Amino acid sequence: MKILIVEDDVFFQKFYSTKLKEKGFEVFIAGDGEEGMQKVKEIKPSVILLDIIMPKKDGFEVLESLGKDPVLRTIPVLVFSTLGQTKEAERAKKLGARDYVNKTFFDFDRLLAKIAEVTKK
């Protein structure tokens, strides 16, 4: 299964890509929202893990762009939230994200469960 991680922080890119690859996922990374949109169109991932605060295009703008495309908006998005970002995570859900995961508290089983939930047909 293809996962696209859209995240500007190298630490979290490395952490999540390493752990997801160990579980057999094919992982792609984009370092900002603009690159994220390019890669979504190229790769058509099964799920997107999307950070909110990023340079160039932030997570909200990515969600808005995805929402305008009839094909891309069907790709499930999980947003990464951090401490104190509950309002932002709720806003992301209103823009089409399926759910959010707290990236600062590494509950990997929970992340895998959410990926399974949003990608089941």
Residues that bind other proteins (CB under 8 A): 8-12, 14-15, 19, 53-55, 82-84, 103-109
What is each CA distance from 93 to 5, 29, 84, in whole angstroms?
Answer: 17, 22, 16
Q: How far is the CB of 54 from other proteins (least distance, A)?
A: 7
Q: How far is the CB of 53 from other proteins (least distance, A)?
A: 5
Tokens 């696209």 appear where? Answer: 4
State the distance between the two ends of the chain, measured CA to CA, in whole angstroms. Answer: 13
Q: How far is the CB of 9 from other proteins (least distance, A)?
A: 5
Which is nearer to other proteins, 86 or 104 (by Cβ)?
104
Residue 81, Cβ density class (10 Å: 0-12 exposed, 13-18 middle, ≥19 buried): buried
